[in-house]
Structure 1
């Protein structure tokens, strides 16, 4: 879509003018598709089927091919987000527990400059705003009951922090021994590698939660090599590499959940075994090895 919006009739002309087959769909069905997915968004799923030399669709590309890729992407995000939520909860719980056991006498240790970097504490005031205190029910109740408290205790406060904020808390703890105690729960002692894995989960979570385009995503920073993960063809940036990180964390949490995600991912991709167009996208863009 250019600088100005165009009606659906014009959107259809643009697609067919570039060689896209609408098959036997009538105008009502095409309108339904475009009003459901959106002309601009559907463009992201056209890219694998465009001839770059001519900027036209490759021979015999149908609108159903594009819609099928869109739904593959949606189904993959749905699966991953379910397990990312489990990882987020697990990591949050371990951070709360082990830190609270170490700093038993300070339930708001996260604003203690002997424990946390001062830059984090300064920024945290922007997170723990009046809006934060009034919109989150448990926090609101705490401050109504204890009006002199500047902060609610960690086990209440951290429940309302985003995964990105929780990772930021972790990285700004001064005590490396405490951080290693937590990272060892996942079989990793190297804090740099562990934090990189956490950021991979965060980046993937943001795409899935905000309905971004996933199938051709590439991490801006490669995942560190660790013995527990074998990356396909040595690739450490693709969606397949990200999936392996999610699978790794689920195995640390629960063998059953690990088996579940492995099965669900395999079943999703294997369902396209006889669909060469989509299968090639899974192999070449996602970098999944059938």
Structure 2
């Protein structure tokens, strides 16, 4: 059983003194105070943890500076922006492809029919969430639909799937019973089996939430590992010796997915330029293997 928390709030100046006592080099105290007054102590703590030699005493490595920490923070912030733009492209395309392939064959309201669900319990839970998410939508096409129609109690799939969350969309796809239709959607993105798209959708929902909620990407342990097939129809990676729960495999499937939608996208170039602007950031902190720039996907 844990002990009662008794620590009291301290000033920004006191926070600076604690960091200096732990060995962090702070050349410009005034600037450091301004930064900590803008970015909270414990938000930055996730970044300077990488620079600690001991996570119990929180002592810093020799010659580690406050600017190293803020540079990593800045890199991470810009990476989230870059990644969120890529995720937006993928998300919009996935919604479009699922609507395209499933609506024509299974009707406008297949997502409300439990006969198309693998697991009936999950179907009921998903439908309940969909109703809540649609009811919160203020999109014109949703409000106009309800002004005109009263039955069924949800709009058709081509409207509904545009306003549900990525997490809900992921669960809806995973629980759909027709494998052939799911394969057809997966093939649109250069994937041989729907299980890979199911896995990537699940991971993308988590990654999207990290970006949307300004969560740290660097040195993060992701709770869900994406399936990484050794052979793919399109340009892919060859070395699978990376750490599975790091950002690297997440970025790999994003790049592959993005390439299947727009072959002339600039994500890889933009990412390399971002690294070049932040020389103190080591890509190994993101889980990148030493030879990552030689991988076909990243050339």
TM-score of the two chains, using structure 2 as the length reference:
0.85
Distance 1:185 1:130 in 2: 30
Match of 1:10 in 2: 14
Deviation at 1:76, TM superposition (A): 1.1
- Mapped pair 1:263 → 2:264: no
Match of 2:288 in 1: 287
Aligned to 1:164, what secondary structure does the other structure show?
Answer: helix
Larger % of helix: which? 1
Distance 1:121 1:221 in 2: 22
Distance 2:220 2:238 in 1: 16
- Mapped pair 1:156 → 2:162: no
Unaligned runs of 5+ residues in structure 2 are 294-299
Alignment of 1:67-216 (within 5 A): 67-103=70-106, 106-116=107-117, 117-129=119-131, 132-133=134-135, 135-137=137-139, 138-216=141-219
Deviations 1:64-118 (A, max 9, x none): 1110000011111111111011011111100011111112xx3111111222343
Deviation at 1:132, TM superposition (A): 3.4
Deviation at 1:247, TM superposition (A): 0.3
Deviation at 1:163, TM superposition (A): 1.0
Distance 1:246 1:4 in 2: 43
- Mapped pair 1:250 → 2:258: yes
Deviation at 1:139, TM superposition (A): 2.1
Unaligned runs of 5+ residues in structure 1 are none
CA contact (8 A) 1:186 1:252 kept: yes
Q: More deviation in 135-144 or 203-212? A: 135-144
Equivalent pairs counted in the alignment come to 279
Q: More deviation in 111-120 or 9-18? A: 111-120
Distance 2:276 2:240 in 1: 20
1:66 to 1:84, Cα distance in 2 relative to 1, 3 A: same
Distance 2:88 2:137 in 1: 21
Deviation at 1:130, TM superposition (A): 6.1
Deviation at 1:221, TM superposition (A): 4.2
Deviation at 1:284, TM superposition (A): 4.0
